[in-house]
Amino acid sequence: MPPVLDALDRQGHAVVNCTAMKPDGTPCGAPAREGETTCFFHGEGEAVRAAGAKGGASRNRPVLNLRQLIAEAGALDVDGKQRLLAAVAEKVLAGQLDHASARAVTYAVQTADAVARSAELAALATKLDALEEAQHARH
């Protein structure tokens, strides 16, 4: 089967699509590797075999109880949040916590901070409105 030229890359070169067939019988269609007619996953190289051999190895880390980690950080005031983020960093570096979970905890802390700041700003705006009304009432 001849290579299929479906598009041009940013430099104007023809992009060759992978000529391999997927298990369901449809063409792969992914961009082929430079100078090849197949994509990375349908190639015959050592890198493909190594990637296949690795499989889900990165998912085989022990499951860490995030609730326990949060409880150990104590109250989630500023100091508690700092303790929690430090503990998360330590667990990632020790290989005991995957990056996705670490990102989730970090995002949750950032979101909680943003919500707290938003509530503080709303309270300040309410106080400011009350002060402005009192000022206008005096004049």
Tokens of 78: 């500023």
Q: How far apart are CA 6 and CA 116, in angstroms?
A: 51
- Report the pLDDT value the prediction gives residue 12, as an integer from 0 to 100: 67
- Report the pLDDT value the prediction gives residue 127, as an integer from 0 to 100: 93
Q: How far apart are CA 70 and CA 78, in angstroms?
A: 13
- Report the pLDDT value the prediction gives residue 91, as an integer from 0 to 100: 87
- Report the pLDDT value the prediction gives residue 58, as an integer from 0 to 100: 52
Q: How far apart are CA 92 and CA 114, in angstroms?
A: 24
- Report the pLDDT value the prediction gives residue 125, as an integer from 0 to 100: 92
**Average pLDDT of adjacent 10-residue blocks, the chain of 139 residues:** 54 76 84 80 66 56 67 79 88 86 87 86 92 89
Q: How far apart are CA 64 and CA 97, in angstroms?
A: 6
